[in-house]
Amino acid sequence: MKMKVLKLTIKGGVDKDRVPDAVEEIDVNRGEIIGIVGPTGSGKSTLIGDIEQLAHGDTPSGRRILINDVEPEAQLRTDPRKKLVAQLSQNMHFLADMPVDEFLRMHAKSRGKDAGIADRVIELANTLTGEPINPSNPLTTLSGGQSRALMTADIAVISDSPIVLIDEIENAGIKKHEALRLLAGEGKIVVVVTHDPMLALMTSRRIVMKNGRIIKVICTSEEEHRVYLDIERIDSWLMSLRETIRQGEVVVA
Give the binding site for Mg ion (CB under 5 A). Answer: 45
Q: Does residue 12 interact with ligand ATP by CB under 6 A?
A: no
For the CB of residue 80, give the shortest distance to ligand ATP in the complex, in Å: 24
When the beta carbons of 61 and 129 are compared against ligand ATP, the nearer one is 61
- Core vs surface per residue 209-233: b (16+ CB within 10 A) or e: beebbbbeeeebeeebeeebeebee
Q: Does residue 41 interact with ligand ATP by CB under 6 A?
A: yes
CB atoms within 10 A of CB 205: 14
Q: Which of 2, 6, 7, 16 binds ligand ATP (CB under 6 A)?
A: 16
The shares of helix, strand and coil residues in the chain, as percent rounded to the nearest 5, are 40, 20, 40
For the CB of residue 50, give the shortest distance to ligand ATP in the complex, in Å: 8
| Residue 100 near which of Mg ion, ligand ATP, none (CB within 5-8 Å, type-dependent) | none
How far is 48 from 45, CA to CA, in rounded Å?
A: 5
Backbone angles phi, psi at 16, to 5 degrees: -65, -25
Nearest-CB residue to Mg ion?
Answer: 45
Binding site for ligand ATP (CB under 6 A): 15-16, 38, 40-46, 60-61, 209, 212
